[in-house]
């Protein structure tokens, strides 16, 4: 609420003159020259040559300025960073679909991925106990969506268990492209041999053929993948895959339609191997999946903030 002062103040009563006023005026007039002379002498000899007057002026100025926590509030760093992804668009691509197995004809249909034709989608893998990769990817995607939304991002999923099957890999890429995503991540879990453990991030290789042209996204996707790999390892405690990637957790491929057809920075994350008992124990843990989502989220935030 603002307050506007009146344009003019009401006239004030004039105080009566004191009988002592004239003698005091005379006395002060006599004292002023002496005071000025004393100040001149002090100014000439009182400065110790070390900038005393400047220091005193600086100190006076500092003492009159409001100090943080005393008169003026210090900048709120938490408030400044409360929504670091505001204005950013992130597309999350949960791999496969829980209902794909019911639609073999549709998901086996061949689509053009630039380098060659490939099936529309697959059913994905599962743990030995029957926990499907498609259920895993949706769960992590939901957790990741919530974390990114809390940071201010606009988040879009390529599928949310709301489709009969798919979408096909070319449509998954198209969804990210049409959203003009600042980053896109496809979430998966591997189905390798027992004993093969750990996560890896798949980066797009340089492809320029037919409908595919990844040349503009290779470098930013590599940065996105490296940030996710670092944060994912920190949060989950998982190690990079021991069976590919030479221990870096980073693998480049040119045979995946979801990457080949993307025009925005995009990576695939294989969070672990569902067919290894040790990795299975992690992938089937809700607490671990939350850590996984946090690691992915932090990697995306790091990438988008530069």
pLDDT tens over the chain, length 306 residues: 433 333 333 333 434 444 434 444 434 444 444 444 444 433 333 443 344 433 333 333 333 333 333 333 333 334 446 789 999 999 999 999 999 999 999 999 999 999 999 999 999 999 999 999 999 999 999 999 999 999 999 999 999 999 999 999 999 999 999 999 999 999 999 999 999 999 999 999 999 999 999 999 999 999 999 999 999 999 999 999 999 999 999 999 999 999 999 999 999 999 999 999 999 999 999 999 999 999 999 999 999 998
Bridge partners of 259, per DSSP, are none
Respond yes or no: is residue 234 known to be catalytic. Answer: no
pTM over 0.85: no
Bridge partners of 252, per DSSP, are 203
Dihedral class, residue 258 (left if φ above 0, else alpha if ψ from -120 to 50, else beta): alpha
Pair 238, 282: CB distance under 8 Å: yes
C-alpha 292/C-alpha 271 separation (Å) is: 8
Q: Where are the domains of the chain?
A: 81-304
- Fold of the CATH domain 81-304: Aminopeptidase (3.40.630)
Pair 89, 154: CB distance under 8 Å: yes
- Cβ-Cβ contacts under 8 Å for 187 (sequence gap 6 or more): 92, 93, 94, 95, 137, 140, 141, 144, 269, 271, 296
Catalytic residue from among 171, 270, 280, 298: 270
C-alpha 300/C-alpha 44 separation (Å) is: 64
């Amino acid at each position: 609420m603002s307050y506007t002062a009146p344009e003019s103040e009401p006239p004030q009563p004039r105080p009566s003159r004191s009988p002592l006023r004239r003698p005091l005026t005379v006395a002060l007039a006599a004292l002023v020259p002496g005071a000025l002379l004393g100040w001149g002498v002090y100014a000439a000899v009182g400065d110790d040559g070390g900038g005393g007057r400047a220091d005193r002026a600086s100190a006076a100025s500092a003492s009159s300025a409001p100090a943080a926590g005393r008169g003026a509030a210090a900048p709120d760093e938490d408030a400044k960073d409360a929504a670091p992804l505001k204005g950013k668009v992130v597309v999350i691509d949960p791999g496969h679909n829980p209902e794909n197995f019911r639609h073999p004809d549709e998901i086996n249909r061949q689509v053009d991925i630039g380098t060659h034709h490939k099936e529309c989608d697959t059913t994905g893998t599962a743990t030995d106990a029957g926990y499907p990769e498609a259920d895993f990817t949706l769960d992590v995607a939901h957790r990741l969506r919530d974390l990114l939304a809390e940071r201010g991002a606009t988040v879009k999923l390529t599928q949310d268990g709301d489709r009969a099957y798919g979408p096909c890999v070319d449509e998954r890429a198209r969804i990210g492209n049409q959203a003009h995503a600042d980053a896109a991540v496809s979430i998966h879990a591997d189905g390798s041999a027992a004993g093969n453990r750990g996560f890896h991030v798949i980066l797009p290789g340089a492809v320029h053929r037919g409908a595919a042209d990844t040349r503009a996204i290779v470098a930013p996707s590599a940065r996105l993948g490296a940030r996710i790999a670092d944060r994912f390892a920190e949060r989950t405690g998982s190690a990079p895959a021991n069976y590919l990637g030479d221990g870096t957790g980073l693998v480049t491929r040119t045979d995946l339609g979801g990457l080949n057809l993307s025009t925005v920075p995009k990576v695939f994350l294989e969070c672990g191997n569902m067919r290894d008992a040790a990795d299975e124990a992690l992938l089937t843990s809700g607490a671990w999946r939350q850590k996984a989502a946090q690691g992915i989220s932090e990697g995306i935030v790091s990438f988008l903030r530069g």
